[in-house]
Amino acid sequence: MREREIIGSRMALLRRRQGELMAELDELREQHALEQRDVEKLESLSLTRVVAGLHGAGRREDRLARERAEADAARYRMAEAGQRLAAIEREVAQAEARWSELADAPAGFAAALDDKEAWVRAVGGPVADQMISLAQERGRTEAELRELAEAAQAAGQVAQALKAVAEKLGSADSWSAYDTFFGGGVISSSFKHDRLDQAARLAAYADRCLAVLRTELADVGIVRPIGRIGVDGGTRFVDVWFDNIFTDLAVRNHIKRAQANVADARHRIVDVRRQLAGRTEAARRRRANLDQARKDLLVG
């Protein structure tokens, strides 16, 4: 029954997030469509192109490159939001399947209560009442321990994901520094771009892990503002087309901000894992005390 209650709350939470993500994805699709239309305007024979041509071919090419970069950035954000929505939808499907499996739980629980009531009336006395009370408390404690274990596992996955992001950002930062301050070149710029792209993919995965963790923490009554740590792909596209000292510095600042966000998230996860460990230890002690109290009743 406790699991069914938790899954019911989880489904409500996940469906609310699902709705928010669907709305976000709709907005990103609209944004991408607008950016793509801007690209098409500059690529096609139109008044916009004529005006751009009058201002010089070089300026028009710059504008076209920028519009393409913005369209690619919008498409990147749209794809990333789609991945997050797919992850939430998988969680919803799993929760709904488990909810269906537990459909008989309320009837079974009612029948068990009837049996206990009959047993208490037959046996009677304070010992029987205490035994039932201990059994109920132990059941709640066991459920809490399962929920805490699931949350701890999710926190461990987040910690590993964030570690991978931090390592990749560190590599990107090193290549970015070389590219910015020591001249760099095609090879160093290529390495920087590759590391930044990998960091973005790892950060997107870490975001999905964080979403799972937030659900698990809600199950155990812990609400922490861990937030998202995604690396925006826009700068990557700008850097490809406008590779100069100003953009290189912008990319380096972008990486530094991402590193700070990841470091903050890792610090919060350490705190969450410490809190989960403390809750787990307290629940284990409580279960041990309940077992001892039951033993004392039976042998007393």
Token pair of 207 as six digits: 């975001």
Distance CA 196, CA 254 (A): 10
Token pair of 5 as six digits: 């209650």
Domain extents in the chain: 1-123, 127-300
- Of the candidates 272, 249, 16, the one whose C-alpha atom is nearest the C-alpha of residue 162 is 272
Token pair of 15 as six digits: 């469906």
- In single-letter form, the type of residue at position 292 comes to Q
Task: Spell out a b/e string for 43-66, using b for 16 or more CB atoms within 10 Å of the CB, else e.
Answer: eeeeebbeebeeeeeeebeebbbb
189 CB contacts (<8 Å, ≥6 apart)?
Answer: 175, 179, 243
- Write down the pLDDT at residue 239: 41
Q: Is 149:280 a contact under the CB 8 Å cutoff?
A: yes
pTM higher than 0.75: no
Q: Tell me the CATH number for domain 127-300.
A: 1.20.1330
Domain covering 1-123 assigned CATH 1.10.287 in the classification: yes
Q: Is 200:72 a contact under the CB 8 Å cutoff?
A: no
- 3-class DSSP state for residue 183? coil
Per-residue pLDDT in tens (0 to 9) along the chain, 300 residues: 888 888 888 898 889 889 988 998 888 888 888 888 777 766 654 444 444 444 454 555 666 777 777 777 778 778 888 888 888 898 899 989 999 999 998 888 878 877 776 776 677 677 777 888 888 898 889 989 999 999 999 999 999 998 998 888 777 666 555 444 344 444 445 555 666 777 777 877 888 888 888 888 888 888 766 655 554 444 443 343 334 433 444 456 767 777 888 888 888 899 999 999 999 999 999 999 998 887 777 665
Angle, nearest 10°, between helix axes 47-54 and 2-43?
Answer: 60
- 3-class DSSP state for residue 240? helix
CB atoms within 10 A of CB 185: 10
Distance CA 158, CA 210 (A): 6
Phi, psi (rounded to 5 degrees) for 242: -120, 65
Q: Is 239:247 a contact under the CB 8 Å cutoff?
A: yes
Distance of CA 132 to the CA centre of its chain: 40
- Write down the pLDDT at residue 47: 42
